[in-house]
Amino acid sequence: MDKILIIGGNAAGLTAASRAKRIDPRLDVTVIERLPHISYSTCGLPYLLARLVSAESLISYTPETFRKERGIAVHTEVRVESVIPSRKRAHGVRVDTGEAVEFPFDRLLIATGVKPKPPAIPGIDLANVFTLLNLQDALRIQEALAAAQQVAIIGAGYVGLEVAECLRSLGKSVHLFERERQVLSSVDPDMAQIVEYELRRFGVHVSTGANVLALVGQDGRVNGIKSASGLGITPAELVLLDTGVEPNGDLAKEAGVRIGLNGGISVDPHMETNLPGIYAAGNCVETHCAIRRRPVLSYIGTVAAKQGRIAGENMAARRTTFLGAIGTTVLKVFDLNVARTGLTTREAAAEKMPVISARIESDDRASYYPPKRKVGVKLIAERATRRLIGAQIVGYGEAAKRIDVAATAITCGMPIEDFAQLDLAYSPPYSSLWDPLLIAAQALKRGGPL
Amino acid sequence: MDKILIIGGNAAGLTAASRAKRIDPRLDVTVIERLPHISYSTCGLPYLLARLVSAESLISYTPETFRKERGIAVHTEVRVESVIPSRKRAHGVRVDTGEAVEFPFDRLLIATGVKPKPPAIPGIDLANVFTLLNLQDALRIQEALAAAQQVAIIGAGYVGLEVAECLRSLGKSVHLFERERQVLSSVDPDMAQIVEYELRRFGVHVSTGANVLALVGQDGRVNGIKSASGLGITPAELVLLDTGVEPNGDLAKEAGVRIGLNGGISVDPHMETNLPGIYAAGNCVETHCAIRRRPVLSYIGTVAAKQGRIAGENMAARRTTFLGAIGTTVLKVFDLNVARTGLTTREAAAEKMPVISARIESDDRASYYPPKRKVGVKLIAERATRRLIGAQIVGYGEAAKRIDVAATAITCGMPIEDFAQLDLAYSPPYSSLWDPLLIAAQALKRGGPL
């Protein structure tokens, strides 16, 4: 009875555990998690802060129900300190008691996720300065929010924007500081402008191109942000850092697992590392980008779950292959739907890939069927091959599934001429006779040599 | 200055006219329409009956605005009686005055749409028996509805179901008679059952497997339906026939244009018929099915508009190609979203194409983010190649854009193994970590040999 050991009890780790056990119920599967909770929706944490959902409803399984319903042992609050591949053992300590524990394995999965990359400025160790990476973070922020009216968010990425919306819904004053000259650097500046407009429309103070010099405080607790804008100190009783994360690969590296050039754990298409029998999956690994055809870093829950699934299948001796990802995401920013897939103009430039692009704005359904809503669509194609390589959709109309249509076309390497003729569904309650995607494709066709 | 003549003033005809004139503004473009209105949304007609929209708002252009804004002459209420290809002339009559008119052309487009196929039963000529093919039909039905409380609909296709919903919203009693053993024969019986349940839930009387023997009436006006079910006469003050249509190709045939085996006008990929300079587009032509790789009949507005666009480009001497269609449609039936693309199980069987299929039911978003709603997804793949060839989505959750994702994959000939790993967008307000499409693809993978 082979022993499968999994370090990390969230999307990648638990999906792998469940999948392996399902394929081969005789396997002895054990999951170790450093924190108190497993199996919760990390993407739902901002909505916990907004009091839209409870912590309980974010959790799918407790260690007990996971064991009972799936036959998988789970140890929480155990920190793995080292992995000895030659002895096929992992050593750790119980966080509460300090007791040393040891786990033997035949096959191991490292799914240790990410760690925050805080900015190198004074004051980030003050009380009421947080990152939001896990449920424990969220519960701590929730507690501190009770006595905080003025909140500063440093970094305007996915988490920063979602939390900005959620805290505005609680009536907090929110000031967003972003070092780049635009919010949400995962979309092009022209699309980011629409997002910035929406943030301002709902009363978020937005400072782009901001140079935050220090967090300042009193009695060990943050009370302001010092930035180079010359406006003195911006008051802030609570600060959220959304200044980036990096793969949490220390444990793997010390065990002799190869780390890639991007800093993630290097894996093959079966999610196996350079050490036979040791697998890795989720945000700690390098993910194959199906457009660039090389490994990149990806911090997306759906990708982590897919990689976990493939890792679980291969650990259970079913040979399957992870086909890669293309960076498809969607984000709600107040009333605005913001979605992107593939490469942005900037990302394509970084690959030295000449592109053509077009942006259109259109109603999302038949003009006479209320309520029609505006959507902006930007499409990007490789100039040489005319294949679609990127799409961004920002608007009050449907964006989340439209971006999936573009993602599917990009995955297939579809030329824009074919994309412009896609047979998409139409009926007045749902869409317009020419879907905004097709109108954008027609504009893109005109944009390049025919 | 070449003369372009277009017979038919709706989706295909007007799109072709606009496109040709846009590419080459020197062209002399004339449109002839048999009925009083042009440029209205045929798909919006049921919502006119429901009083959700006005006739005016369904109309994009009047003949006057079309002429003024686009420089295209439009003649309404002119019936073309013959086309003489050798003399490059069309002969017609003004419907109101009976005056003979003649139109010369260098290139001609036939976009004459469809004509109804009424059932061969007694009573269909009674007053208050209607079909719903054009705006004039809708206006007549609207007038008759004022004095009709009990309505019978014969045929449970798209129009029948949409009108059933719209008339229920006006408080009418609606009895739906369908000859087949299921409603909506464009989806598989298991999906149609869900639609039938929804119709009943909103008080529509549904009789499937119904054998309507006659329409009966008094003083020349319909007052009942006689069917073979043994229940006597079902009262009906108004009857809508949704018993099918066929291509309106008489004019083309008499001019020597080749008609295909399916009864539609035969065209090449540039929408040109066997007679050089004579084009055809829209519901009157045979449409290339990109899955079956042969011509079929299609009565879908988006396809007609695409064909019109391609015809217009080729008539303006820009060589472009229509890539075909795959039968993507979406339909609202009360609270239910009903979408399909590609081949159904029955259609695949008619092609003698062995398939595998899977059907799942899933929530459409994160379980904790209200309101989550159920969607049923059925995927069909060719057994031999494992390529996706069909999808059907029925549920209270999003279906219209999800079907577009499947349509894109089918167009690309994507194998189900690749489809199951599509990088689709996720965020709690929009979807679940594993989109129902991916869950269905996983089920389909299990369904066949790996």
In angstroms, the CA A412 to CA A409 distance is 5
The reply to whether A310 falls in a domain is yes
Q: Are B305 and A428 a contacting pair at CB < 8 A?
A: no
Parallel, antiparallel or unpaired: strands A129-130 and A238-241: parallel
Among B49, B40, B81, smallest CA distance to B146 is for B49
The residues of A that are catalytic are 43
**Interface subset of A 1-30, CB within 8 angstroms of B:** 11
The SS3 of residue A259 is strand
Q: Are B411 and A423 a contacting pair at CB < 8 A?
A: yes
| Cα A212 from chain centroid (whole Å) | 24
**Interface subset of A 240-299, CB within 8 angstroms of B:** 290
Contact B334, B166 (CB under 8 A): no
Are B141 and B185 part of one and the same domain? yes
Are B440 and B374 part of one and the same domain? yes
Chosen for mutation from A271, A321, A408 (greatest number of chain B CBs closer than 10 Å) is A408
Chosen for mutation from B326, B372, B401, B403 (greatest number of chain A CBs closer than 10 Å) is B401
pLDDT at B309: 98
pLDDT at B449 > cutoff 50: no
Nearest-neighbour CA in chain A from B373: distance (Å): 16
| pTM for this entry | 0.96
Are A147 and A210 part of one and the same domain? yes
pLDDT per residue over B58-105, tens digit each? Answer: 999 999 999 999 999 999 999 999 999 999 999 999 999 999 999 999
Neighbours of B386 (CB within 10 A): 19
**Interface subset of A 319-358, CB within 8 angstroms of B:** 322-332, 337, 339, 341
Are B299 and B155 part of one and the same domain? no
pLDDT at B342: 98
The SS3 of residue A84 is strand
In angstroms, the CA A400 to CA B422 distance is 14
| Cα A219 from chain centroid (whole Å) | 35
Touching check for A58 and chain B: CB below 8 Å? yes
pLDDT per residue over A372-384, tens digit each? Answer: 899 999 999 999 9
Q: Which of B60, B366, B408 sits opposite A409 (nearest CB)?
A: B408
Q: Are B428 and A341 a contacting pair at CB < 8 A?
A: no
DSSP code string of B159-191: HHHHHHHHHHHTT-EEEEE-SSSSS-TTS-HHH
pLDDT at B230: 67
Long-range Cβ pairs for the range B99-105 (8 Å, 24+): B101/B75, B103/B5, B103/B30, B103/B32, B104/B3, B104/B5, B105/B3, B105/B4, B105/B5, B105/B30
In angstroms, the CA A231 to CA B136 distance is 67
Are A229 and A187 part of one and the same domain? yes
Touching check for A416 and chain B: CB below 8 Å? no
CATH of the domain at A399: 3.30.390.30
Q: For residue B247, give both structure tokens.
A: 């291509």
Nearest-neighbour CA in chain A from B250: distance (Å): 28
pLDDT per residue over B368-383, tens digit each? Answer: 887 889 999 999 999 9
Contact B132, B45 (CB under 8 A): yes
Are B190 and B250 part of one and the same domain? no
* DSSP structural state of residue A265: B
Nearest-neighbour CA in chain B from A421: distance (Å): 7
Residues 6+ apart with CB under 8 A from B30: B3, B4, B5, B6, B72, B73, B74, B75, B103, B105
Q: Chain B residue closest to A23 (CA)?
A: B446
- Exposure string of A184-220, with b = 16+ CB inside 10 Å and e = fewer, is bbbbbbebbebbbebbeeeebebbeebebebbbbeee
pLDDT per residue over B331-362, tens digit each? Answer: 999 999 999 999 999 999 999 999 999 999 99
pLDDT at A350 > cutoff 50: yes
Q: Are B426 and A339 a contacting pair at CB < 8 A?
A: no
Q: Are B427 and A400 a contacting pair at CB < 8 A?
A: yes
Q: Which of B224, B243, B262 is the last residue of a domain?
A: B243
pLDDT at A51 > cutoff 70: yes
Mean pLDDT value of segment A47-73: 95
Q: Which domain holds residue A395?
A: 338-447
Which residues is B362 bridged to in the sheet? B375
pLDDT at B369: 82
The reply to whether B122 falls in a domain is no
The reply to whether B329 falls in a domain is no
Of B43, B166, B289, B412, the active-site residue reads: B43
Chosen for mutation from A292, A414, A427, A439 (greatest number of chain B CBs closer than 10 Å) is A427
The reply to whether B54 falls in a domain is no
| Average confidence score pLDDT of chain A | 96
pLDDT at B448 > cutoff 60: no
Touching check for B143 and chain A: CB below 8 Å? no
Are A78 and A226 part of one and the same domain? no
Touching check for B53 and chain A: CB below 8 Å? yes
Q: Which amino acid is at A24?
A: D
Whole-angstrom CA distances from A84 to A35, A93, A104 are 22, 15, 10
CATH of the domain at B279: 3.50.50.60
Nearest-neighbour CA in chain A from B346: distance (Å): 21
pLDDT per residue over B188-216, tens digit each? Answer: 999 999 999 999 999 999 999 999 999 99
Q: Which of A186, A214, A243 is the last residue of a domain?
A: A243
| Average confidence score pLDDT of chain B | 96
Higher pLDDT: A317 or B420? It is: B420
Are A383 and A442 part of one and the same domain? yes
Q: Chain A residue closest to B310 (CA)?
A: A421
| Contacts A337 to B, Cβ<8 Å | 430
pLDDT per residue over A207-239, tens digit each? Answer: 999 999 999 999 999 999 999 976 789 999 999
pLDDT per residue over A383-410, tens digit each? Answer: 999 999 999 999 999 999 999 999 999 9
Are B233 and B256 part of one and the same domain? no
Are B221 and B252 part of one and the same domain? no
pLDDT at B279: 98
Are B109 and B138 part of one and the same domain? no
The reply to whether B200 falls in a domain is yes
| Contacts B326 to A, Cβ<8 Å | 423
**What percent of chain B has pLDDT above 90?**
95
**Interface subset of B 61-120, CB within 8 angstroms of A:** none
pLDDT at A38 > cutoff 70: yes
The total number of structural domains in chain B stands at: 3
| Contacts A427 to B, Cβ<8 Å | 43, 329-332, 400
Mean pLDDT value of segment A112-126: 96
Are A76 and A217 part of one and the same domain? no
Confidence of residue A449 (pLDDT cuts 50, 70, 90): very low
The reply to whether B374 falls in a domain is yes
Q: Are B425 and A341 a contacting pair at CB < 8 A?
A: yes
| Contacts B322 to A, Cβ<8 Å | 421
pLDDT per residue over A289-322, tens digit each? Answer: 999 999 999 999 999 999 999 999 999 989 999 9
Higher pLDDT: A163 or A368? It is: A163
Q: For residue A53, give both structure tokens.
A: 């959902």
In angstroms, the CA B21 to CA B15 distance is 10
Q: Are A400 and B290 a contacting pair at CB < 8 A?
A: no
Chosen for mutation from A335, A388, A404 (greatest number of chain B CBs closer than 10 Å) is A404
pLDDT at A450 > cutoff 80: no
Does an H or E element contain A131, and which?
none
Among A407, A408, A404, A398, smallest CA distance to A436 is for A398
The reply to whether A53 falls in a domain is no
Q: Which of A263, A284, A315 is the last residue of a domain?
A: A315
The reply to whether B269 falls in a domain is yes
pLDDT at A230: 67
